[in-house]
Amino acid sequence: MTTPKYSYFSPSTAQMSLQQLRQISVTLTSHHFQIQPLISYPIQISTPPKNPFLTTTLSRKPTHSSSSSTKTQDNGIPIEDVKILVKFKSRHNYIRVLQVSRKADHPFAGSRLLLLDTPGNIHSISFQFKSFTDTYFDVFATLPPILPPGPVAILGFGAGSAARLCLELYPELVIHGWELDPSVIAVGREYFGLERLEKQYPDRLFIYIGNALKASVRDGFSGIFVDLFSQGSLIPELQDPNTWEVLKKCLRKGGRVMVNVGGSCVEAEDKRRDGKVVMEESLKAMRRVFGENLFVLSLGNRKEDSSIALTGDLPDLEAWKKALPGSLRFYVDMWTQFCV
């Protein structure tokens, strides 16, 4: 694997970086924040840094004022609370890692974020002092209790946010993860504790570089997580029923697929690929393969803001809740059957 060349933030690149840097926003629900892409916002240097490799202090130019401290889908992380740790272009992605200050008045305070693609959609998140993320990764972590015995696959591994949660919560779980971009795995190992995770679980975590749609193991998977985005959009293959036919054949008897199908909050590089439309087309393709055994969990304040899909018969909800940590149980009641 080729080691990526990292480009650190320094005064020599400050002007270009400041024009590209954007404000992070998240959609707020009563219990959940859905990751959204960065939103363009004018900013300026407020104080020159003493050490350019540590941080650059930034502040946004005020355009309006508000006395309300209530967080909404349009609230973002103040730019002065965000530090760029690394940014570079790989063969497949424009990669950035951000550190959010622990002092930030925001649910992402103290987090580290992996941004991919030009719009800046967040693909991984980790906190130093807590496991749960208050994002769709927590929904992913509810799947293992309703699966038959056997390994699970993560298609679109990222920096390992979903894997970390599942490995910590379920001691018997074995995970096989696929990621197309080796640079994403390299960043995960250096900035998101993935190397430590691999050493901690050498017999339970296996990572492969390559096409996730060719994933396979002997005797099949008990469950498959699908989190496949490219250039800010669900990959086109997920709008093709043939793709879901192939994935269905990779499942063991009683196995399930859980999918991040995105939604209107996902910003694509190609403006013609509207996030809501792509989500609906992907769900319809799944429906053709899985029939009525398809359920959707919607996140965010706005209708169709973002959704997770689940295949298989609706499980015993009370038994499912009892098998989950208390902070994840409310997700069980959020599933509804998908109807065309």
User: At 219, which CATH number?
Assistant: 3.40.50.150
Neighbours of 194 (CB within 10 A): 27
- What are the b/e assignments for 316-339, b being 16+ CB within 10 Å? eeeebbebbeeebbebbebbeebe
Task: Check residue 270 and give its pLDDT.
Answer: 73
Helix ranges, the chain (H): 14-20, 136-140, 161-169, 182-191, 194-200, 241-249, 275-290, 317-322
Half-sphere exposure of 148 (CA within 13 A, CB side): 12
User: In terms of domains, do 113 and 177 share one?
Assistant: no
Specify the higher pLDDT residue, 126 or 302.
126
To the nearest 10 degrees (0 to 180), the angle between helices 275-290 and 241-249 is 50
**203 part of a folded domain:** yes
Percentage of the residues of the chain whose pLDDT score is greater than 70: 76
Query: In this model, does residue 225 exceed pLDDT 80?
Result: yes
- pLDDT for the residue numbered 81: 93
Round to the nearest angstrom and report the end-to-end CA distance of the chain.
44
**Out of 27-31, 285-289, 305-309, least confident range:** 27-31
Query: Is 252 within 8 Å of 222 (Cβ atoms)?
Result: yes
pLDDT band with cut points at 50, 70 and 90 for residue 267? confident
Domain match, 147 and 274 both: yes
**Percentage with pLDDT > 90 across the chain:** 64
Pair (299, 192) in one structural domain: yes
Q: Are residues 102 and 191 in the same domain?
A: no
pLDDT tens-digit profile of 143-165?
A: 999 999 999 999 999 999 999 99
Residue 206 falls within a domain, yes or no?
Answer: yes
> How many structural domains are present in the chain?
2
For residue range 293-324, what is the model confidence (pLDDT) as tens digits?
999 999 875 554 789 999 999 999 999 999 99
Cα 125 from Cα 137, distance rounded (Å): 9
Residue 59 has pLDDT above 80, yes or no: no
Say which residue, 258 or 301, is predicted with more confidence.
Answer: 258
The per-residue pLDDT for 39 is: 33
* Segments forming the whole domain that contains residue 192: 136-337
Position 4 in a domain: no
Same domain? For 145 and 92 the reply is no
* Domain match, 244 and 148 both: yes
In the predicted model, what is the mean pLDDT of residues 205-215?
97
Q: Is 3 a domain residue?
A: no
Assess if residue 6 is contained within a domain: no
Question: Are both 177 and 248 inside the same structural domain?
Answer: yes
pLDDT mean over 263-281: 80
Burial of 178 from C-beta contacts in 10 A (0-12 / 13-18 / 19+): buried
Instruction: Give per-residue pLDDT as tens, 190-199.
Output: 999 999 999 9
250 and 149 in a common domain: yes
Q: Which residue has the tokens 């990222």?
A: 158
User: 38 and 183, same structural domain?
Assistant: no
Q: Is residue 301 within 8 Å of 268, Cβ to Cβ? A: no
Stretch among 25-34, 73-82, 319-328 having the lowest mean pLDDT? 25-34
pTM, full prediction: 0.79
Q: Can you give the length of the chain in residues?
A: 340
| Residue 219 domain flag | yes
167-186 confidence digits (pLDDT tens) = 999 999 999 999 999 999 99
The pLDDT assigned to 303 comes to 52
Least reliable range by pLDDT among 34-48, 228-242, 272-286? 34-48
